[in-house]
C-alpha cells in the first residue's frame, strides 16, 4: 500500500491501531500549545528507562500506520525533567507534521528508544562563553541545554540567539528565557549569565538582520558588548536549516573555531533542525 493511503488510517485520540513496533516507546501526550499557524509545542510522558543528554534528539512518529513515519526531533526539555517536550513546525502536507499538529492530550506518540546527537556539552572543549545560534525550531535543543545546570558549570556566559521570520515565532524562546530566570534549579546561574538575542527578518522589529549578517558585520558583538569570537574563549553550537548551518559554520571557521563531535570534542558543533 502506498504510504499516503497508510497515513489515511490515522485515528486521533485512540490507542495504537497497530502493534507498537519493537524498539519503540508508546507515550501519552500531556500538553499541546500552538504558537502560530506554523509552530507548536507538545509534551509527552517520559519512559522511566529513557536516559539522554540535554541537546540530543529522538525519532518521533504516530501510531497511525503499520509502518509509521518517523522524524528526528530534538528533545526541548532538560535531561532531569519528568516529561519530554518538543517544539515543532507544521509542514503543509508533511507526512508526519500534517497529522502531528492535530494531536491532543491523551493521544499516543511513538518514540524510538535511542537518543543521539552532537549538540551536547560533551562535544565541546571547555571555554568561557557559549554561543547557541538558532533559527526557527532550531531553538529546541538549546531549550534543553539552557535549563541544564551542567551548561552553567561549563561556561561562564551563555548567549542564545534566535532568528525567525516573524516576531510571533520568537514567543517560545521568550517564554523559555523567562522560565530560566525563575527556575529553581538554574535561575541563580541564568540570571546575568544567560543572554537572549533575538532578530526577525520578515517584519519590522528592533533587529531585522539574519544572524549571519550580524556575525559578519560585528553588530552582534557590539550589541552584546563582547569581543569578537575567539577560539581561546568562545564555543559555538548551531541549529537551523541546512543553508543556515552551512553559512554559520563557514563564519565560525573564519573566526578559527573547529567542528567537534562526541568522539573528538572541539570548539563548535552543529545539528540540523530536521523537519522541513
Q: Which residues bind ligand A2P (CB under 6 A)?
A: 135-136, 163-165, 201-202, 210-212, 241, 243-244, 247
* Least spacing, CB of residue 127 vs ligand A2P, in Å: 23
Instruction: Tell the smallest beta-carbon distance from residue 42 to ligand A2P (Å).
Output: 19
Considering beta carbons, is residue 201 or 233 the nearer one to ligand A2P? 201
Q: Can you name the residues that pair with 271 across neighbouring β-strands?
A: 239
* Shortest distance (Å) from residue 67 CB to ligand A2P: 28
| Grid cell locating 143 | 531549550
User: 102 or 272, CB closer to ligand A2P?
Assistant: 272
Which grid cell is 200?
A: 526577525
Nearer Cβ to ligand A2P, position 62 or 170?
170
C-beta of 84 vs 214, nearer to ligand A2P: 214
CB 229, min distance to ligand A2P, A: 16
Q: At its nearest, how many Å lie between ligand A2P and the CB of residue 170?
A: 10
- Residue 54 vs 135, nearer CB to ligand A2P: 135
Closer CB to ligand A2P, residue 113 or residue 202? 202
The grid coordinates listed for 255 are 573566526
Give min distance, CB of 269 to ligand A2P, in A.
Answer: 17
How crowded is the C-beta side of 268, counted as CA atoms within 13 Å?
Answer: 28
Nearer to ligand A2P, 154 or 196 (CB): 196
87, β-bridge pairs: 41
CA dihedral 143, 148, 154, 157 (to 10 degrees): 50
For the bound state, the minimum distance from the C-beta of residue 247 to ligand A2P, rounded and expressed in Å, comes to 4
Amino acid at each position: 500500500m502506498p504510504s499516503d493511503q497508510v497515513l489515511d488510517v490515522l485515528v486521533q485520540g485512540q490507542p495504537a491501531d497497530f502493534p507498537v513496533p519493537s524498539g519503540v516507546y508508546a507515550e501519552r501526550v500531556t500538553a499541546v500549545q500552538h504558537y502560530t499557524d506554523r509552530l507548536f509545542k507538545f509534551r509527552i510522558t517520559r519512559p522511566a528507562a529513557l536516559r539522554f543528554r540535554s541537546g540530543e534528539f529522538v525519532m518521533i512518529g504516530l501510531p497511525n500506520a503499520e509502518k509509521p513515519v518517523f522524524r528526528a526531533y530534538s528533545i526541548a526539555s532538560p535531561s532531569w525533567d519528568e516529561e519530554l517536550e518538543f517544539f515543532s513546525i507544521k509542514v503543509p502536507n508533511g507526512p508526519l507534521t500534517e497529522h502531528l499538529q492535530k494531536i491532543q492530550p491523551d493521544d499516543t506518540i511513538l518514540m524510538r528508544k535511542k537518543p543521539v546527537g552532537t549538540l551536547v556539552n560533551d562535544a565541546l572543549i571547555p571555554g568561557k562563553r557559549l554561543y547557541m545560534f538558532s533559527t526557527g525550531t532550531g531553538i529546541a535543543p538549546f531549550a534543553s541545554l539552557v535549563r541544564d545546570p551542567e551548561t552553567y558549570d561549563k561556561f561562564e556566559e551563555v548567549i542564545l540567539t534566535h532568528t525567525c521570520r516573524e516576531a510571533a515565532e520568537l514567543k517560545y524562546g521568550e517564554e523559555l528565557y523567562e522560565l530560566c530566570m525563575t527556575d529553581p534549579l538554574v535561575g541563580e546561574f541564568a540570571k546575568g549569565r544567560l543572554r537572549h538575542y533575538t532578530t526577525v527578518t520578515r517584519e519590522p522589529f528592533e533587529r531585522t538582520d539574519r544572524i549571519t549578517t550580524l556575525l559578519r558585520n560585528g553588530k552582534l558583538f557590539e550589541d552584546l558588548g563582547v569581543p569578537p569570537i575567539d577560539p581561546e574563549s568562545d564555543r559555538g553550537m548551531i541549529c537551523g536549516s541546512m543553508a543556515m548551518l552551512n553559512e554559520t559554520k563557514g563564519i565560525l571557521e573564519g573566526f578559527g573555531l573547529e567542528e567537534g563531535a562526541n568522539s573528538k570534542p572541539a570548539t563548535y558543533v552543529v545539528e540540523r533542525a530536521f523537519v522541513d
